[in-house]
C-alpha cells in the first residue's frame, strides 16, 4: 500500500517513517489494542484477571507476518478477523473467550492507526524542530543580506534574505501551535462495539472506555466510527506542512536558476545531468514542490472519506488506509530534504548585492 520502491527509497520515501506506518507496525498496534482492552476489562471486572494476564503474555510474544493476514483480508476486507484467529490458536480455551470481548474490528483498526499516528507525530515534531533551528541559523548568518523581492515573478524592491527565510520559518511555528491543539482531538481511543453503542457492556461502557484510554496513553472519547473530522483535520495539517516546504522549494528553484544564481541548493554537489555536466540541478527542491502537490491530492481522498454513511462505511474507511500512511511518508521525506537543504545551501551574497545594485541603478529612488 505504501510507496516502497527501492529506486526511490531515499528520494521519494523515508525509511524512518515507513517503519512507523508499515504493515508490521499496524500488526503490533492491533495486538497492543487487544492486550490493553483485556487489561482494561479485567480492571473493571468484565473478564477474569487470569484471562487478561494470559492474553497479555501470549500476544506480547506473538509474531504475525503481514503475509499471514493477506488471504483473510481479501476475504473479509479487514485484517482483524484473521489476526484474532491466529491469536486464539495460542490461547487456552478459557482465555480465547475473552479476547476482543465486546469490541468490533473498527475499534481495533482505528485505535491502531491512532497509535501509529502518535509515533509518526513524534518523529515529525522532532524533524520540524531541527529544520526550524537550521532556518534560524540561516537568518543569524545571512538575514541582513540585501536581496531582491519578487512579486508575480518579477523584481519588486530590495528586501533582506531574512525576510525570505522567515516566510519558511514562521508558518512552521504556527504549524506546531496548530498541532498541539489537534493532538487533543486526534489522539483518542476508539471503542464503540458493533454499532457504536457499546451494547455488550452497557453498565460499564464509560468506565471501560476510560480504562482502555488510560492503558494506551490516549484520551477517552465517545465512539467516532463515522465521525472522521479529527482525522481529516490532521491530514489537512500534513498537507499544509508539506505545502509550507513546497513554497520553500519553489522559492529556491527561482533563486537557483542560472540567470539568478542567488543560492545553490546543495553546496556539496547538486543533481547531475546525463547530458550537461555543468549543471547542478536543485533536485531536492523539486521534490519538495512535488510532495506538496502529492499530499494536496491525497487530502482530497480524506475529504471524500468524510462521507461515511450510517454506522460504518468501509468504502470511505479504505480511503484512509491508503492515504494516511502515504501522507506521513511524504511528510517524513519532505522534512529530510528540507533539513538537507537548510544545512547545505550556499547563499551567494555577492550575487544578491549585485542584483540589488543593478536594480537601484535602473530604478533610481526605489
Per residue in 319-340, pLDDT (tens digit) is 999 999 999 999 999 999 999 9
**Measured distance CA(35)–CA(296) in Å, rounded:** 36
pLDDT for res 2: 47
Distance CA 334, CA 14 (A): 9
pLDDT computed for residue 273 by the predictor: 40
Length of the chain: 366
pLDDT in tens, 29-46: 999 999 999 999 999 999
Residues 198, 224: contact at Cβ < 8 Å? no
pLDDT of residue 277: 57
- Output the pLDDT for position 167: 98
User: Which residues fall within 8 angstroms of residue 209, CB to CB, at 6 or more apart?
Assistant: 189, 191, 198, 220, 221, 222
Q: Which residues of the chain carry a pLDDT beneath 50? A: 1-2, 272-276
The pTM (predicted TM-score) of the whole model is 0.94
Q: What's the pLDDT score for residue 274?
A: 39
Cα–Cα dist 174/180, whole Å = 10
* Residue 1: predicted pLDDT: 43
What is the pLDDT, as a whole number, of residue 117?
Answer: 98
Cα(310)–Cα(231) distance, rounded to whole angstroms?
Answer: 18
DSSP, res 345: P
pLDDT digits (tens, 9 = 90+) for 244-281: 999 999 999 999 998 999 999 987 776 544 344 555 68
Euclidean distance between CA atoms 273 and 261, whole angstroms: 18
Q: What is the pLDDT of residues 208-222, one digit of tens each?
A: 999 999 999 999 999
Q: Tell me the DSSP string of 245-265.
A: HHHHHHHHHHHTSTTT-SEES
Residue pair 336/127 in contact (Cβ under 8 Å)? The answer is yes
CB neighbour class for 277 (10 Å; exposed up to 12, middle 13-18, buried from 19): exposed
User: Considering only CA atoms, which of 288, 210, 286, 184 is closest in space to residue 245?
Assistant: 288
Phi, psi of 163 (to 5 degrees): -65, -40
The secondary structure of residue 95, as a DSSP letter, is: H
Amino acid at each position: 500500500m505504501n510507496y516502497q520502491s527501492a529506486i526511490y527509497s531515499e528520494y521519494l520515501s523515508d525509511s524512518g517513517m515507513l517503519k512507523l506506518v508499515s504493515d508490521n507496525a499496524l500488526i503490533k498496534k492491533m495486538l497492543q489494542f487487544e492486550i490493553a482492552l483485556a487489561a482494561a476489562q479485567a480492571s473493571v471486572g468484565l473478564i477474569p484477571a487470569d484471562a487478561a494476564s494470559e492474553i497479555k503474555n501470549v500476544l506480547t510474544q506473538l509474531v504475525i507476518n503481514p503475509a499471514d493476514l493477506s488471504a483473510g483480508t481479501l476475504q473479509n476486507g479487514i485484517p482483524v478477523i484473521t489476526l484474532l484467529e491466529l491469536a486464539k490458536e495460542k490461547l487456552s480455551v478459557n482465555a480465547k473467550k475473552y479476547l476482543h470481548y465486546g469490541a468490533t474490528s473498527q475499534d481495533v483498526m482505528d485505535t491502531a492507526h491512532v497509535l501509529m499516528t502518535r509515533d509518526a507525530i513524534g518523529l515529525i515534531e522532532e524533524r520540524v524542530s531541527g529544520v526550524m533551528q537550521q532556518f534560524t541559523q540561516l537568518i543569524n548568518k545571512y538575514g541582513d543580506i540585501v536581496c531582491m523581492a519578487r512579486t508575480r515573478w518579477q523584481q519588486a524592491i530590495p528586501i533582506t534574505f531574512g525576510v525570505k527565510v522567515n516566510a519558511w520559518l514562521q508558518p512552521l511555528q504556527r504549524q506546531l501551535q496548530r498541532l498541539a491543539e489537534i493532538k487533543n482531538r486526534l489522539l483518542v481511543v476508539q471503542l464503540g462495539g458493533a454499532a457504536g453503542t457499546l451494547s455488550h457492556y452497557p453498565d460499564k461502557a464509560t468506565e471501560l472506555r476510560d480504562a482502555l484510554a488510560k492503558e494506551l496513553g490516549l484520551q477517552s472519547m465517545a465512539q467516532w466510527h463515522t465521525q472522521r473530522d479529527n482525522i481529516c483535520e490532521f491530514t489537512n495539517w500534513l498537507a499544509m506542512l508539506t505545502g509550507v516546504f513546497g513554497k520553500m522549494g519553489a522559492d529556491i528553484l527561482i533563486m537557483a536558476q542560472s540567470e539568478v544564481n542567488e543560492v545553490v541548493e546543495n553546496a556539496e554537489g547538486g543533481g547531475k545531468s546525463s547530458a550537461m555536466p555543468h549543471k547542478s540541478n536543485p533536485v531536492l527542491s523539486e521534490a519538495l514542490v512535488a510532495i506538496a502537490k502529492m499530499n494536496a491530492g491525497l487530502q482530497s481522498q480524506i475529504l471524500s472519506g468524510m462521507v461515511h454513511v450510517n454506522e460504518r462505511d468501509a468504502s470511505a474507511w479504505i480511503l484512509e488506509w491508503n492515504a494516511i500512511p502515504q501522507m506521513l511518508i511524504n511528510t517524513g521525506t519532505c522534512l529530510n530534504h528540507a533539513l538537507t537543504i537548510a544545512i547545505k545551501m550556499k547563499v551567494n551574497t555577492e550575487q544578491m548585492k549585485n542584483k540589488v545594485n543593478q536594480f537601484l541603478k535602473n530604478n533610481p529612488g526605489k
